[in-house]
């Protein structure tokens, strides 16, 4: 705690430490045909704030305002592009003594729009440092603070990179996923644990140990060429303590400050608690996520503009298809609304899902999503949530016996609250991710229970997502002692790995069975419209069984789970509303026709049945 405070104090007391005479301008370039004509240039160089007499070579660009701040190493220039269609403009800065500095600013013309994430997609979460090492020459980069690579350490960098992901795109095609979500790839020049990516130190630079901006753009291009998409992991709430601006902070209010180090209380409920204190609300939003992760002051208009422009820059530069937004509820909600409205001005249907990791129920997630049915909720432009509540429910269903509230009844009860959302179908669903114990381990390494969890993931509403190697029964010791233990390397991704899990020959028989099962589920999901955009009707759990249907006007798929120790027969009378008009069924997993007269389901089984007339 004291260390974090000293870092902050040093940033404020010694602002010239990282100042250089070389001009840095953010964003590094822009586009001349966006709907929003406003552009904020953040100019950084030693004493550049004294050069506040600004002119620009194009008459079609208006200088709206020039802002100097406490730190004279920064100058903020606000431009109005109006009808500007040029490719470059020369910006000239001069001080009172007549000395001049200038730079040429480049504009591009945005040609191709993106295809955003939708219910048709199956998302695969890749942990870049732990997936595949495609370029061993960038494992250690001179000049960066964490100058070692050690695969035997759970918290060190392992050498995975963007080239490694590109090298294995055929694997994702074989599996059938349609979009990759990468944990953050921006540079994390931190002294330790920089591998996870959530403490960025520059908003415009890809971590050189992962590759380059150009390689990131190439990954996006190759994905699009294969009919796939790319989701960026966005981190608005905080930066790394070694961020270049922390060493030369534009102004004291750039990050949220406290008399002593103050961590967030992690209570998203303070946003809507009618009895919450002002202090608790402030601590939630303004407290630091960790002592190495300063909290951004998103109420500062220059901070807000800097962040928003960087996100739009990445969408335009790399043709990003969606955002997973880290620690969404820790942000200032007014800023996040403005931010996503800014993005949607250019891309009206742009999909975003916020991480709202709380156990307080569906309300705690729906509150932050767009057009929800909550009376006092703030305006939002967040498409959906990372659906922790459905995750908790699926886990409960497979770890506990079903009773009035527990087991399968928890999943039933959770879904009864979907009315709080405008569109629960926009939520990103999952059964594991990079912050959680591996699902196969959590269900006691029971293959049948794992199959039930996977079956539910691909048949419930929402956009399903897998986590790296989950399709191969990845496991860890439960409970984990270190996050690194659930972020293990994908075997076969490193040149000297003794086994290669990317190919069938390198998998155990059980792993291959799991891979083929996942592949089949993905194919079922992609080929059955009722599972993509069909309505959902669920039925009250009966004993150890729980059943729901996904249906359209012309099709219906029945999904039933038996978590009990005995075989069970479904109550046909209970299901009559959806069975009416159908005479038989096709078991999509067993690939055989079944009778609807007596629907039987074995112990510890999931059935996915397409109803036939």
Residue 435 dihedral angles phi and psi, to the nearest 5°: -105, 0
Q: Is 125 helix (H, G, I), strand (E, B) or coil?
A: strand
Please, what is the angle between helix 301-318 and helix 333-346, to 10°? Answer: 40
Buried b (16+ CB within 10 A) or exposed e, 385-406: bbbbbbbebbbbbbeeebeeee
Please, what is the angle between helix 447-459 and helix 509-527, to 10°? Answer: 20
Measured CA to CA in angstroms, residue 314 lies from 45, 124, 207, 208, 210 at distances of 24, 20, 14, 17, 16
CA distance 284 to 360: 15
556-562/545-551 β-pairing: antiparallel
Residue 385's DSSP bridge partners are 354
Q: How many CA atoms lie within 13 A of 196 on its CB side?
A: 21
CA distance 600 to 567: 7
* Bond preceding residue 479 cis, omega within 30 of 0: yes
Which of 326, 370, 432, 605 is the catalytic position? 326
CA distance 440 to 447: 8
CA distance 172 to 353: 22
Q: Is 88 helix (H, G, I), strand (E, B) or coil?
A: strand
Decide if 157 contacts 195 (C-beta within 8 A): yes
CA distance 358 to 346: 32
Residue 539 dihedral angles phi and psi, to the nearest 5°: -120, 145
Q: Which two tokens stand for residue 28?
A: 């590094």
Decide if 280 contacts 270 (C-beta within 8 A): yes
Nearest to 114 by CA among 314, 316, 344, 343: 316
Which of 332, 355, 370, 432 is the catalytic position? 355
Secondary structure of 318-365 as H, E, C letters = HCCCEEEECCHHHCCHHHHHHHHHHHHHHCCCCEEEEECCCCCCCHHH
Answer yes or no: 355 catalytic. yes
CA distance 561 to 532: 20
Answer yes or no: 298 catalytic. no
Decide if 607 contacts 545 (C-beta within 8 A): no
Decide if 229 contacts 113 (C-beta within 8 A): no
CB atoms within 10 A of CB 418: 19
Measured CA to CA in angstroms, residue 434 lies from 195, 250, 329, 488 at distances of 12, 34, 19, 10
Active site residues per annotation: 326, 355
């Amino acid at each position: 705690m004291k260390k974090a405070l000293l870092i902050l104090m040093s940033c404020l007391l010694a602002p010239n430490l990282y100042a250089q005479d070389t001009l840095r301008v953010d964003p590094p370039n822009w586009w001349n045909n966006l709907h929003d004509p406003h552009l904020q240039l953040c100019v950084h160089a030693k004493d550049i704030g004294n050069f506040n007499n600004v002119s620009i070579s194009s008459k079609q660009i208006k200088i709206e305002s020039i802002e100097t701040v406490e730190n004279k190493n920064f100058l903020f220039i606000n431009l109005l592009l109006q009808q500007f269609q040029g490719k470059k403009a020369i910006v000239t800065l001069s001080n009172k003594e007549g000395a001049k500095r200038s730079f040429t600013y480049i504009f591009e013309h945005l040609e191709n729009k993106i295809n955003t994430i939708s219910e048709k997609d199956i998302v695969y979460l890749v942990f870049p440092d732990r997936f595949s090492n495609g370029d061993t020459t960038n494992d250690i980069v001179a000049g960066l603070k964490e100058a070692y690579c050690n695969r035997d350490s759970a918290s060190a960098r392992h050498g995975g990179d963007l080239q490694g992901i590109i090298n294995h795109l055929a694997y994702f095609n074989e599996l059938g996923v349609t979009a990759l979500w990468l944990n953050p790839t921006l540079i994390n020049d931190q002294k330790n644990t920089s591998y996870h990516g959530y403490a960025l130190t520059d908003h415009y630079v890809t971590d050189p140990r992962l590759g380059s901006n150009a390689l990131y753009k190439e990954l996006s291009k190759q994905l699009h060429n294969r009919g796939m998409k790319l989701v960026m992991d966005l981190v608005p709430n905080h930066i790394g303590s070694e961020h270049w601006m922390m060493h030369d902070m534009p102004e004291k209010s750039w990050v949220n400050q406290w008399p002593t180090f103050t961590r967030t209380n992690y209570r998203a409920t303070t946003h809507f608690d009618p009895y919450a204190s002002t202090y608790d609300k402030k601590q939630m939003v303004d407290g630091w996520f960790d002592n190495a992760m300063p909290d951004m002051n998103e109420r500062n208009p220059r901070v807000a503009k800097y962040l928003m422009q960087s996100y739009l820059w990445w969408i335009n530069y790399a043709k990003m298809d969606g955002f997973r937004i880290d620690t969404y509820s820790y942000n200032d909600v007014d800023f996040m609304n403005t931010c996503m409205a800014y993005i949607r001005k250019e891309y009206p249907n742009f999909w975003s899902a916020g991480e709202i990791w709380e156990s307080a129920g569906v309300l705690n997630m729906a509150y932050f999503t767009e057009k929800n049915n909550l009376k006092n909720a703030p305006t939002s432009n967040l498409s959906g949530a990372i659906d922790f509540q459905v995750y908790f429910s699926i886990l409960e269903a497979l770890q506990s016996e079903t009773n009035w509230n527990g087991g399968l009844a928890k999943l039933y009860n959770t879904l009864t609250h979907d009315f709080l959302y405008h569109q629960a179908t926009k939520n990103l669903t999952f059964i594991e991710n990079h912050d959680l114990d591996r699902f196969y381990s959590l269900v006691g390494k029971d293959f049948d229970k794992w199959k039930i969890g996977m079956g539910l993931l691909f048949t419930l509403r929402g956009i399903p997502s897998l986590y790296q190697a989950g399709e191969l029964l990845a496991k860890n010791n439960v409970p984990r002692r270190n996050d690194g233990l659930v972020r293990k390397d994908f075997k076969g991704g490193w040149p000297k790995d003794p086994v290669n899990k990317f190919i069938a020959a390198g998998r155990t028989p059980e792993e291959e069975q799991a891979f083929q099962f996942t592949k089949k589920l993905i194919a079922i999901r992609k080929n059955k419209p009722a599972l993509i955009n069909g309505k959902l009707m669920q039925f009250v759990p009966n004993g150890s069984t729980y059943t729901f249907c996904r249906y359209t006007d012309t099709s219906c798929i029945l999904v039933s789970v038996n978590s009990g120790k005995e075989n069970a027969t479904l109550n046909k009378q209970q299901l009559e509303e959806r069975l009416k008009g159908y005479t038989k069924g096709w078991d999509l997993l067993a690939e055989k026709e079944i009778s609807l007269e007596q629907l039987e389901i074995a112990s510890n089984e999931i059935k996915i049945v397409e109803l036939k007339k």
